[in-house]
């Protein structure tokens, strides 16, 4: 038994007493009670505190919280004597202790118990503050009897599609199961006023034995679709169940025994059945979207599913295999628009997170996107890709914004479109809008380490360093081995002048990645700032050596010479970065301490067309 079991039971009693009167707090307390991992306990404890602090900011400080970190609000509440001192002390302790779960070297499971004790103190005070009364709502006559067919109310239009299980004899259809699941997600995402959780968060529960109702609560949806696929030869059996999270009851279920060639029709039937049972109004465009066929060629479709499966690994090997499958799919069906866009996604990520030169692939990316649009001009993914091209290659911010807005008009649900639109807003220094768009992406994909990291990034570019740290530490609490979050946290530490901590986070990112050159450049700069020039020079020489055999972004060397004060060399490297359409340049241009207004560096960027 955990040493904090008694504290959990006390909090469960508080949860039972709420009866829906404080829904935001109730939701986080329920998640806390179900958590079976000390890091998740810290996460949900902190979220309980966030709910309370946010409400106190509204009620006592008479203003919305917006982007303020918890510590700042707690200090203001204390200074203005809005909250008793003993409660302020508990808030400070909870706030500081709950962040350590993101850093295993600093984290001691013994601190879970004091976090829960402080939370119990805070909540009991908060309930008195709210003049809380236990009210038991009587059931109406209609509610006294369970219906055989549960109905979803108009306020419950949200769904997560869990990965279908592979029930095939050989257990070799994992890619097919994931592909069918993603196809259904993509179709449902086009339904107006239906919140559809993104693939990343829905797939986080794959092969995990978690109660279906708990999954629904974690993802904050009212319904779940789960199912299985059994494929044998030309025969396929698909089962699907639509489940109401509140009580685990089945709203709808069906089994399809068909030939494999009928797989497209089965997807349509499932999507239409979901819409019907959720009482979602289908407009003409949505109906045509459900019935849409991107390819009638079953072999091409199968290869596309394999390519998507490999791409989702987010590794160089996965990208290479995905490209092969997409190429084969296009050989089978040259008019398969989604296969072209599969290539595009691989190439964009290879320039952002790999070691591929933008000049090498972006002209090809543009060609593939235009080909996809010639085939189908209604693909949101194509306009998303155009937005990325205009951010990273052409630096055309206005056109990029038009692309993203058009993509979201076609399909408002993809978290990747929202987060890349947020990136555009961050780069153009429209920070409040950027944070809002990033938080929308987070709502649609709450368990995505990538999305959560980008949310933290939007905060530090806005100058909200403590809030950025909170988001990134929470990301690492959920996924401690995510290198991108370690890298971004390293930047936050740098901005807070915590150079040793920054280097430690950069090094973790390096150890967990393929030794990303830009992260190494950041470490070089930090060693120089610390006066360890020999170490800095050694790493710089290693980067130069790498650049002889592989693509290393010129921005790496610009940044190093810029920090070292070697302006002439920095300017030459910046010119090279511009000529290569270096994908890091938009980010560096948005950081005033790297490229300040009126500097020769800014003058060069403006001369090259990087205007706002």
pLDDT at position 487, please? 94
Least Cα distance to 573 among 544, 535, 549, 546 occurs for 544
pLDDT of 87 strictly over 70: yes
Banded model confidence at residue 438, pLDDT cuts 50, 70, 90: very high
Q: Is the pLDDT of residue 140 over 50?
A: no
Which has more pLDDT, 223 or 296?
A: 223
Average pLDDT, the chain: 84
Per-residue model confidence (pLDDT) at position 100 = 52
CA distances from 582 to 75, 135, 591, 593, 596 (A): 43, 61, 16, 19, 19
Q: Where in the chain is the domain with CATH 3.40.50.10070?
A: 158-292
- Rounded-to-integer distance, Cα 603 and Cα 612, Å: 13
- CA distances (Å), 253 to each of 21, 229, 484, in order? 33, 14, 40
* Residue from 458, 521, 448 nearest 488 by CA: 458
Query: Cβ(494)–Cβ(523) under 8 Å?
Result: no
Find the helix or strand (DSSP H, E) in which 367 lies. helix 358-375
**Residue 175 clears pLDDT 80, i.e. is over it:** no
Place of tokens 């998740």: 40
Q: Is the pLDDT of residue 156 over 50?
A: no
pLDDT of residue 441: 92
Question: CB neighbours of 485 closer than 8 A, spacing ≥ 6?
Answer: 449, 452, 453, 456, 472, 475, 476, 479
Q: Measuring CA to CA, how many Å separate 83 from each of 21, 62, 78, 89? A: 22, 14, 6, 10
- The 3-class SS string of 389-403 reads HHHHCCCCHHHHHHH
CB 557 within 8 A of CB 521: yes
What pLDDT, on the 0 to 100 scale, is given for residue 104? 47
CATH number of 158-292: 3.40.50.10070
Answer yes or no: is pLDDT of 149 > 50: no
Cα 37 to the center of its chain, rounded Å: 21
**pLDDT tier at 485 (50, 70, 90 boundaries)?**
very high
382: left (phi over 0), alpha (psi -120 to 50) or beta: alpha
Which has the higher per-residue pLDDT, 191 or 442?
Answer: 442
Residue-level pLDDT at 425: 96
Q: Which residue shows structure tokens 């368990």?
A: 447
Per the CB < 8 A criterion, the answer to whether 303 and 294 are in contact is no
Residue with tokens 């993603």: 182
C-alpha radius of gyration, the chain, whole number: 26
Yes or no: say if 503 and 523 are a contact pair by the CB < 8 Å rule. Answer: yes
User: What pLDDT is stored for residue 3 in this prediction?
Assistant: 66
User: What CATH superfamily is the domain 295-412?
Assistant: Tetratricopeptide repeat domain (1.25.40.10)
pTM (2 decimals)? 0.70
Question: pLDDT tens across 511-553, in order?
Answer: 887 788 999 999 999 999 999 999 999 999 999 999 999 999 9
Cα dist from 165 to 161, 179, 237, 501, 546, whole Å: 12, 11, 12, 43, 44
How far are the Cα atoms of 186, 398, 610 from residue 218, in angstroms, in the given order?
21, 37, 42
Mean pLDDT within 482-502: 93
Delimiting residues of CATH 1.25.40.10 domain(s) in the chain: 295-412
In this predicted model, what pLDDT tens digit does every residue of 324-371 receive, in sequence order?
Answer: 999 999 999 999 998 999 888 888 888 887 778 998 889 889 899 999
Residues of the chain with CATH 1.20.120: 5-129
Tell me how far apart the alpha carbons of residues 590 and 595 are, in angstroms, rounded to a whole number: 7
The answer to which of 117-126, 173-182, 286-295, 507-516 has the lowest mean pLDDT is 286-295
**Over the stretch 244-288, which tens digit does the pLDDT of each residue have?**
888 888 888 888 888 888 877 887 788 788 877 876 655 445 555
Q: Which run of H or E residues covers position 232?
A: strand 223-232
**5-129: CATH, from 1.10.3470, 1.10.10, 1.10.20, 1.20.120:** 1.20.120
């Amino acid at each position: 038994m955990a040493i904090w079991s008694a504290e959990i039971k006390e909090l469960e009693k508080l949860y039972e007493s709420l009866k829906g009167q404080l829904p935001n707090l109730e939701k986080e307390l329920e998640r806390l009670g179900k958590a079976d991992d000390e890091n998740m306990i810290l996460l949900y404890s902190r979220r309980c505190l966030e709910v309370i602090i946010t409400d106190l900011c509204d009620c006592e400080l008479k203003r919305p919280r917006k982007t303020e970190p918890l510590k700042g609000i707690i200090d203001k509440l204390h200074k203005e004597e809005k909250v008793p001192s003993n409660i302020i002390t508990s808030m400070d302790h909870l706030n500081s202790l709950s962040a350590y779960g993101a850093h295993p070297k600093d984290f001691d499971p013994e601190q879970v118990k004091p976090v829960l004790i402080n939370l119990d103190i805070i909540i009991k005070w908060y309930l008195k503050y709210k003049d809380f009364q236990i009210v038991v709502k009587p059931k109406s006559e209609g509610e006294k009897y369970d219906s055989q067919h549960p109905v979803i109310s108009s306020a419950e239009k949200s769904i997560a599609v869990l990965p279908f299980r592979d029930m095939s004899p050989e257990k070799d259809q994992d890619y097919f199961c994931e592909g069918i699941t993603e196809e259904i997600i993509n179709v449902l995402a086009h339904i107006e006023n239906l919140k559809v959780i993104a693939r990343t968060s829905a797939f986080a529960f794959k092969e995990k034995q978690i109660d279906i109702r708990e999954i629904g609560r974690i993802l904050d949806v009212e319904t779940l679709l789960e199912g299985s696929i059994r494929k044998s030869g030309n025969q396929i059996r698909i089962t699907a169940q639509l489940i109401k999270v509140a009580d685990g009851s089945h709203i709808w279920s069906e089994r399809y025994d068909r030939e494999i060639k009928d797989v497209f029709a089965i997807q349509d039937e499932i999507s239409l059945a979901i819409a019907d049972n959720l009482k979602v109004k289908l407009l003409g465009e949505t109906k045509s979207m459900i019935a849409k066929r991107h390819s009638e060629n079953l072999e091409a479709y199968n290869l596309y599913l394999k390519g998507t499966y490999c791409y989702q690994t987010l590794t160089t090997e996965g990208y290479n295999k995905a490209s092969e499958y997409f190429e084969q799919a296009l050989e089978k069906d040259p008019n398969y628009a989604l296969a072209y866009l599969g290539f595009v996604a691989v190439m964009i990520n290879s320039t952002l997170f790999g070691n591929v030169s933008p000049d090498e692939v972006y002209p090809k990316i543009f060609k593939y996107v235009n080909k996809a649009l010639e085939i189908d001009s209604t693909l949101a993914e194509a306009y998303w890709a155009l937005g990325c091209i205009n951010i990273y290659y052409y630096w055309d911010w206005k056109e990029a914004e038009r692309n993203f807005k058009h993509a979201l008009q076609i399909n408002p649900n993809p978290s990747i479109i929202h987060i890349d639109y947020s990136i555009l807003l961050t780069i153009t220094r429209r920070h409040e809008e950027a944070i809002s768009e990033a938080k929308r992406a987070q709502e649609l994909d709450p368990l995505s380490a990538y999305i959560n990291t980008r949310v933290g990034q939007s905060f530090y570019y806005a100058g909200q360093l403590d809030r950025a740290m909170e988001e990134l530490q929470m990301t690492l609490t959920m996924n401690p081995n995510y290198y991108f979050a370690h890298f971004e946290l390293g930047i936050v530490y740098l901005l807070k002048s915590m150079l040793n901590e920054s280097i430690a986070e950069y090094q973790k990112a390096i150890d967990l990645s393929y030794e990303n050159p830009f992260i190494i450049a950041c470490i070089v700069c930090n060693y120089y700032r610390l006066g360890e020039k020999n170490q800095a020079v050694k790493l710089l020489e290693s980067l130069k050596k790498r650049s002889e055999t592989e693509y290393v972004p010129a921005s790496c060397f610009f940044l190093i010479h810029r920090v070292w004060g070697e302006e002439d060399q920095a300017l030459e490297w910046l010119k090279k970065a511009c000529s290569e359409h270096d994908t890091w340049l938009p980010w560096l241009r948005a950081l005033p301490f790297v490229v300040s207004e009126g500097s020769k560096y800014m003058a060069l960027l403006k001369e090259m067309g990087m205007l706002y």
